[in-house]
Chain A
Amino acid sequence: MANSASGHPGIANGQAVDVADIPAMAVPEFLESVARAIEQGMRASAFFGQPLEDGRLRLWALLALDNQSLLFPYRADFDDWHYPSLTPRCPQLHWFEREVFEQWGMEPRGHPWLKPIRFHAPYRHNPSAADSKPSPQIGVTDFFQVEGEEVHEVAVGPVHAGVIEPGHFRFQCHGEEVLHLEISLGYQHRGVERNLIGGPGSRSIHLMETLAGDTTIGHATAYSQALEALSGDQVSARAQMLRGLALELERIANHVGDLGALAGDVGFLPVLSYCGRIRGDFLNLTALICGNRFGRRMIRPGGVCYDIDRAQASELQRRLDALEKDLAVALGLLWKTSSVMARFEGTGGISRQDCEAMGLVGPAARACGVERDIRSDMPSGIYQFAQIPVSTCGSGDVYARAHVRWLETIRSIAFVREHLANLPAGEIQTPLSPLKPNSLAATMVEGWRGEICHVALTDANGHFSRYKIVDPSFHNWFGLAHALRGQQISDFPLCNKSFNLSYCGHDL
């Protein structure tokens, strides 16, 4: 364990720690420490409540200090049902504080936009509240409204014209210009975190694999690493490498699909068709390894379920070479078509300052010039030994987000090719020991959308007393809303696609 400048203990990504070793803070000290740490450059990777047996609520803040590859867990037990909101000082806690309020009724006083984010009934009941409020109706809240002549409101969703996930979007427009966009989600809320309490059970891994179906490998890896941290078992280098290859293949397939979809959104159909086909072929590479295009049943705590033999490796290499050529042609056409570039450039821009303030992650953050990539900031698994360069682009617009995806795709292909050729030896599965009691394990994985953060807390018997999942979409949805300000409403689908956030990963 390493300590921060203020003496607070820090842990590495994928490390478990006894909860007793994390100093319990008084509430004012907790709030001040968290706010100050964020103001000094740490990031909130997770911020959540854990109910205690005596009815009080323990708030946890997991702050990431990227340049030292350390995570700092803070905790404090709250007697009251309210506390002064941190959002005015740290905008990146905006969504987290709303989540804590919705789940546990803990009111952040002074929060500028205290509304539900998933529209479920609170997980604990406040006995002192005079009358119990009716349970929230999904999508019913006091939306921000702009008034005036010529201002009009456009409501989109939750049912969309395309076959996509449900979400509700409210635009306040002046003509074609968007003054404000408010995003209201929660339609996919399944109660995953509550289901995991008392686990891990036999269904836990399936919940993880379907948190966001397109991030199966990412979430399953984060979960497996959390379990391995809590059990104290080591996974073989070979299994770690196979996980890394699966994660990169997932990244490549999704990025290629997104680049094609971006072309489709500006009406440039050839690249849409080419990339659609190529994405499918990349998914087939994952299927070649584990029999499922989305990598279901590939990753399991203790290792992986499927090995790559020599014949498979050479087949993968062969297909990878062909796909890389096809991809270069398809995307070459995209970058060379000036009418496409005219649409991408300057659309949906986010400044670097705003990006840092909102705490964006993944390609969206790297497109603003922020070098933020868990694979190099807080490497775990195979990334401790095999590096991938961080891909950034400065302009923060749709072009930058597309360009970052393209760079990452190239580098991931190079990574897969290099490591397929010399896979380390070893078993692919290690049986896990029982989980350590009264511990906390935090794991972070750079999924294709960005930072996936899992925090597991165990009780005295080594079962989950709380399991917190932060999908990258949770950080980034507000970034999308922000990027639309002052843009054309007709550019929304393009901006939306350039973020391509998960609804179910957010709604859990």
Chain B
Amino acid sequence: MNPTSFSLPLAAVVLAPLVPAVINRTKAWFAGRQGQPLLQGYYDLAKLMGKGAVYSRTTSWVFRAGPLVSLACVLTALAVLPLGGARPPLSFAGDPVLLLYLLGVARFFTISAAMDTGSAFEGMGASREAQFSALTEFTMLVSLAALVKLGHLPLPAGVEAGSPYSLQGIYASLTATMWMRYGTVLLLAATALMVAVLCENSRIPVDDPTTHLELTMIHEVMVLDHSGPDLAMIFYGAAMKLWILCALLAGLLIPMRSGNAWLDAGAVIGGIFLLAVAIGVIESCLARLRLLRVPQFLTGAGVLAIVALLLAFWV
């Protein structure tokens, strides 16, 4: 353990609300608007924390537990999240599965809280979320499996290898040489992960985070009944989840493994914000898919991941 490993979750805790803000600013630029201040996310969180929460009489403890457990899960997930070659506080064989299922538990509680309200909308949103996340979970798992299968080339000096079945092990090995040699596999996995990032964070073309139309929403409709600090936890948790998934993708796309953990982590953080810009560009150039088409889109990403895995066996 060293100071850098603890500064990774800290960076996430501090910087995460900035990522949605960068997406917003990018979209505003495309729309010819100025957009909200970059720090608006923080202001909103502060405002919501100062408010009281309203609870429907028809809800139970499940509804109150939803935001809390979800936030706790994503915060825990930060413990195993490497930023490129930089080592996270915890790392062990099989931690990719832990990370994915911590996100899964967070989702389970969000969905349960939505169902707990008994509202038809929230039930609809929950059913859509459950259906789509089942497909992306698979995509992410297979993509990470492909990266594991690629195995290690000799690492640059100073990069800690870790177990090959840990996230640290996977990401430490993704050097520029790996990209030269296994570019196809990495590109396929990255594309599949990009789709997962869009879907898991309810971005266009899967979901529309800005819509006010209850009938079309997926994620937003599930959190309609939350207010005050609960809503703040949901916003903060969503920003954190966006951070985690972008970090997984940026760590793959930016093959900087200098051995200096500060430098490597800094490059990946830069990559996260570049990804936010890319998401903003995608959202400005695309309309939402018809809901019926979303599973096809996600399955397509799953197929890319499978091809990546097969190629990883072959190369």
Interface residues of A (CB under 8 A from B): 152-156, 160-162, 176, 263, 265-270, 272-274, 277, 337, 339-340, 342-343, 347, 488-494
Contact = CB atoms under 8 A, between A and B. Distances in A.
Given A152-B120, A154-B124, A269-B210, A490 B291 contact: yes
Interface residues of B, number: 31
A340 B287 contact: yes
Contacts of A263: 287
A491 B290 contact: yes
B290 A337 contact: no
A155 B120 contact: yes
A493 B214 CA distance: 9
Interface stretch (B30-38, B138-146, B231-239): B30-38
Contacts of B215: 154, 156, 489-490, 492-493
A328 to B, nearest CB: 16
B163 interface: no
A337 B284 CA distance: 11
B180 interface: no
B288 interface: yes
B210 to A, nearest CB: 7
A454 to B, nearest CB: 34
20 contacts: A155-B120, A156-B121, A161-B212, A176-B291, A176-B292, A265-B211, A266-B287, A267-B283, A269-B30, A269-B31, A269-B283, A269-B284, A270-B32, A270-B284, A274-B31, A339-B287, A340-B287, A489-B215, A493-B211, A493-B216
Contact of B208 (A152, A267, A273, A489): A267
Contact of A337 (B214, B287, B289): B287
A267 B31 contact: no
Contact of A273 (B31, B289, B292): B31
Contacts of B121: 154, 156
A102 to B, nearest CB: 28
Interface in B18-52: 27, 30-33
Given A162-B212, A492-B215, A493-B216, A343 B288 contact: yes
B213 A265 contact: yes
Contacts of A161: 212-214, 224
A266 B31 CA distance: 15
B124 A267 contact: no
B164 interface: no
A153 B27 CA distance: 36
A154 B291 CA distance: 17
A417 to B, nearest CB: 25
B32 A273 contact: yes
A274 B216 CA distance: 23
B14 interface: no
Given A154-B120, A154-B121, A489-B215, A339 B292 contact: no
Contact of B120 (A153, A266, A269, A273): A153
Interface in B249-266: none
Nearest to B210: A269
A274 B287 CA distance: 15
Contacts of B210: 267, 269
A273 B123 CA distance: 31
